[in-house]
Amino acid sequence: MDIKKVWQIALRGVRETFSNRNLLLIMIAAPLALTLVIGAAFSKFLNKTSDIPIDSISMAVVNHDTGTDVVLGPFTQHFKLGQNVVDSLVKPTSASLAKLINATEMNEADALKAVNTGKVAAALIIPADFSATFDLGKPTIGHSTLRLVRDAGAPLSASIVSSITHGITDGLTGSFVMMFAARDSDPALYAALGPKLGALSADLQKQLQGDAPIAVKSGSLSGQQPVTNNPLQYFAPAMAIFFALFTATNGAAAIFEEKENGTLQRLLLSPTSRVTILVGQLGTVFGNGLFQMVVLMLLMPLIGVVLGSQSSVWGTNLIGLALMTLCTALAATGLGTLIVGLSRTKQQAVTLASVVPTTLGVLGGAFFDISGVGGPFAVLSKLSLNTWATSGYRTLAMTGDLGAVLPNLAVLLGMFAVFFGIGVIGFSRQLDV
């Protein structure tokens, strides 16, 4: 393969794309305009408020905790700390937590099913020995592991659930560390606690919801930033990805046009290997998608300015954004390759190049936020690369956490591998003239 020629072939295609004013209108102006319209509909222009708070994140809680007896001198109290955690999530007394989380207690099988079907963003599974971990009759605090099963398709919601859970467990641990410390360093104080053991459980409950480090009372994620949703953080990537898919699929289908125009034959008549031509053609598709995404990423924040949004549209994790953009462009290229590979005629390719991105766009929430949608739609939406890419960008913008979007990146790369693997054979067949 001649890399220099691959570059030349790809570059020529990208140049031609970006010298076509009509195409540019579709590639750049259309997503910007639509994002402006949709962004305005969800922002202060219509809602008289700034960024919209996130609420009602569905989660499941599974409690296997059997509880433990804490013996303090003559007093014995049966603690069910797992139930404390369940109650603090299912029946929160804090208004902000109640608004943020919609937790349901269920058995483990149902909870896992709910995660798999996208009905809940995450399931917290409390082990049987949870309370025993904090048995004050033992020399030290024990060790127990809570499992948080996350829906990879809803990384942001799962991330919020994770933060809240950590906050609760941190709060619990902190309280008991204090009690263990009191037990060991100030026996008098510890003994005085005995009569109050009965009230301790209730105090813990209050503490979990009131003073936990997660600062649920202030409705914040980490105690620093308010949990809000800038609609542009969803719709800007959603639109960019939606249109990038059109660019990629139509760009790939353009090989039929090259065939019709005879320019593909002319390439094949030159001393250039078929692999070089194939990779060069796909390079055009990838380059167009990448270039379009980058241009949109640069221009979308202007819409944020117009709409008066205070938070960044894309966030500040540049490495995460670069990786997400690269993987999205690759997945889009894979899809384009697949469409051409499956098409026998130009008409078929053109039709598929319109229908497939539209379908994936609807499934992937190009026009409405699907992060709170459950049921069969949530399952189907996971088949759309738009879902993974959009939620990845959104998570990056809101949390800046690269780790949280690793599943998204992996899925996008996986989609690229599968689409490309299936499509490339058929695509290379298009070089037979």
Please give the residue ranges that form the binding site for other proteins (CB under 8 A): 4-5, 8-9, 12, 15-16, 19-20, 261-263, 265-273, 432-433
Residue among 15 and 64 whose Cβ is closer to other proteins: 15
Residue 45 contacts by C-beta under 8 Å, 6 or more apart in sequence? Answer: 307
Nearer to other proteins, 196 or 429 (CB): 429
State the minimum distance, in angstroms, from the CB of residue 14 to other proteins: 12
Q: How far is the CB of 428 from other proteins (least distance, A)?
A: 14
CB of 433 to other proteins, least distance (A): 6
Nearer to other proteins, 28 or 397 (CB): 28
Q: Smaller CB distance to other proteins: residue 109 or 433?
A: 433
Q: How far is the CB of 12 from other proteins (least distance, A)?
A: 5
Of 19 and 310, which has the nearer Cβ to other proteins? 19
Least distance to other proteins, CB of residue 9, Å? 8
Q: For other proteins, give the closer residue by CB, 261 or 347.
A: 261
CB of 248 to other proteins, least distance (A): 19
Q: Return the number of the residue (18 or 377) whose C-beta is nearest other proteins.
A: 18
* Single-letter residue type at 99: K
**C-beta closer to other proteins: residue 326 or 431:** 431
Residues 76 and 32: beta-carbon distance below 8 Å: no
Question: What's the rounded Cα separation, in Å, for the pair 153 and 229?
Answer: 17
Give the Cα separation of 303 and 365 in Å (integer): 20
Nearest distance, CB of residue 269 and other proteins, angstroms: 5
SS (H, E, C) the chain: CCHHHHHHHHHHHHHHHHCCHHHHHHHHHHHHHHHHHHHHHCCHHHHCCCCEECCCEEEEEEECCCCEEEEECCEEEEECHHHHHHHHHHCCCCHHHHHHEEEEECCHHHHHHHHHCCCCCEEEEECCCCHHHHCCCCCCCCCCCCEEEECCCCHHHHHHHHHHHHHHHHHHHHHHHHHHHHHHHCHHHHHHHHHHHHHHHHHHHHHHHHCCCCCHHHCECCCCCECEECHHHHHHHHHHHHHHHHHHHHHHHHHHHHHHHCHHHHHHHCCCCHHHHHHHHHHHHHHHHHHHHHHHHHHHHHHHHHHCCCCCCCCCCHHHHHHHHHHHHHHHHHHHHHHHHHCCCHHHHHHHHHHHHHHHHHHCCCCCCCCCCCHHHHHHHCCCHHHHHHHHHHHHHHHCCCHHHHHHHHHHHHHHHHHHHHHHHHHHHCCCC
Q: Are 386 and 365 in contact (CB under 8 A)?
A: yes
The least CB distance from residue 24 to other proteins, in Å, is 12
What is the closest distance, in whole angstroms, from the C-beta atom of residue 346 to other proteins in the complex? 16
Q: Give whichever of 4 and 143 is closer to other proteins, judged by the CB atom.
A: 4
Type of residue found at 106: M
Please identify, using beta-carbon distances, which residue of 256 and 419 lies nearer to other proteins: 256
What is the smallest separation between the CB atom of 258 and other proteins, expressed in angstroms?
Answer: 9
